[in-house]
Amino acid sequence: MLDVRRLRVLREVVNRGSFSAAAETLHLSQSAVSQQVAALEREVGMPLLERTSAGPKPTAAGSALLVHTDAVVARLEEAERELAEIAGLETGSLSLISFPSASATIVTRAVSVFRSRFPNVALRLGEAEPEDSIPALRRGEWDIALGFDFTEHPWELGRDVDSRLLLEEQLLVALPPGHPLAAADAVSMDELAGEEWLCGNSGSCREHVMRLCHGAGYDPNVTFESDDYSVLQGLVAAGLGVTLLPDLALRARHPGLELRPIRGNAPKRRVWSVTREAAARSPATDAMQDVLVEAAAEFHSEVADAVAA
């Protein structure tokens, strides 16, 4: 493949009319310019310049090569401008995938702020649970994936990805109004052994409820399953069972709920922003990470107020 730097040198020699003028323009010595042209002639296997008393003139091969050189250099300059725009967040794209309760809270706020700051960056959003979104991120299908783990069972993401903590949520026991345990300041998991449980259909949240109940010495009696936290809140408020709710699910708290912390070593859910390692990230990805941190801090404050209400 021809050396683009040598093509630039050839073009300058022809355009400036001499080796010395090209050397001055390129900030090289005249001998360096001559060596670059000679090396390019060896690469193509034929003379590219005819040395005349009026200065160097392109041969037929040189003229043909210069036509392509102009096109190559123009495309490279266009690429450099585009990369500069991307680095300055004047263009480019960003894709983000999140789980539902974060999509409705942190992501909604973050996307609004990001778009106001960087209106020329195209956004693509998706939704999936972490067991699906993190592998998709690794495959290069997304730039950022929001996921979660639990302090008692932290995930191991392994190589080639980075994670940034956005939020640490408490898990609260949601009780129907008038429930006997609502009179206590906190509820232990073993006190819920005889209750009807409401929880997700599948995924790590359901698994975590099962682990907590098993750790307290019983198998929960699950009578209703839904991955929609608003549905679970409504069912609890209607007296149909109990469940555990993370902070993000309580941004819109059902007025009929009684919420109590878990007594003892209370479990926590941690929300993370996951990206590919630094070398594979775009400036837009890093900018969105910062916005997500801001949004998470705002929602943490708002949720604290909602829970206390």
Same domain (yes/no): 180, 54: no
Q: Give bridge partners of residue 262 from the DSSP assignment.
A: 187
Of 27-31, 110-114, 240-244, which gets the smallest average pLDDT? 27-31
- pLDDT score for 305: 58
Same domain (yes/no): 294, 156: yes
- pLDDT score for 69: 84
Same domain (yes/no): 97, 82: no
Same domain (yes/no): 52, 156: no
Distances in Å between the alpha carbon of 97 and those of 59, 61, 137, 143, 187? 57, 53, 9, 8, 35
| pLDDT at 143 > cutoff 90 | yes
Q: How would residue 75 be classed by pLDDT, with cut points 50, 70 and 90? A: confident
Average pLDDT, the chain: 88
**Could you tell me the residue range of the domain that residue 55 belongs to?**
4-87
Same domain (yes/no): 33, 105: no
The 10 Å CB-count burial string (b at 16+, else e) for 125-143 is eebbbbebbbeebbeeebb
Instruction: Look at the block and give the residue holding tokens 């969105």.
Output: 288
**Cα 286 from Cα 275, distance rounded (Å):** 9
Could you say which DSSP state residue 140 is in? T
Domain boundary among 87, 119, 151: 87
Q: How would residue 304 be classed by pLDDT, with cut points 50, 70 and 90? A: low
Number of folded domains that form the chain? 2
Of 21-30, 35-44, 87-96, which gets the smallest average pLDDT? 87-96
List of E strands, the chain: 49-52, 55-58, 93-98, 122-127, 144-150, 161-175, 196-199, 221-225, 243-246, 258-261, 268-276
Same domain (yes/no): 259, 284: yes
Q: For 286-296, how does the pLDDT look when each residue is reduced to its tens digit (9 = 90+)?
A: 999 999 999 99
Question: CATH no. for residue 33?
Answer: 1.10.10.10
Domain boundary among 30, 64, 87: 87
Q: For 260-289, how does the pLDDT look when each residue is reduced to its tens digit (9 = 90+)?
A: 999 988 888 999 999 988 877 888 899 999
- pLDDT score for 148: 93
Q: Are 153 and 211 in contact (CB under 8 A)?
A: yes
Question: CATH no. for residue 227?
Answer: 3.40.190.290
- pLDDT score for 162: 92
Specify burial of residue 118 (Cβ count, 10 A radius: 0-12, 13-18, 19+): buried
- pLDDT score for 181: 94
Q: How would residue 96 be classed by pLDDT, with cut points 50, 70 and 90? A: very high
- What's the whole-model pTM score? 0.70
Same domain (yes/no): 82, 154: no
Domain boundary among 87, 122, 151: 87
Same domain (yes/no): 104, 224: yes
